Amino acid sequence: MRIKQFNSMDKKKKKNLSYAEVEKGILEIIKLPALFDLPPVLRRAFDSAVSDIKNVDEEYEDVISNRNYRLMLKYVR
């Protein structure tokens, strides 16, 4: 289910998502508008997932892969 969500958000098929794509996807695809009552929580979860990538590759952009999308969802809990 998570992979299907990720692929639905990845309209350009570039295998990673920016924060804007995640935010839009959660509202439109997953239909969880309740998360928009707490935008700092979503942003912190996204940033934490990105920081896991940056620890390995410092030149990596602020995007998350499918693997880090899983981490972001875990951090939102």
pLDDT at residue number 67:
86
Distance CA 48, CA 61 (A): 13
Q: What is the pLDDT along the chain (77 residues), one digit of tens a residue?
A: 889 989 999 988 989 899 999 888 888 877 776 666 667 888 888 888 887 665 555 555 688 888 889 988 888 87
Element of type H or E holding 4: helix 2-9
Q: Where are the domains of the chain?
A: 2-76
**The domain made up of 2-76 is a member of CATH 3.30.420.40:** no
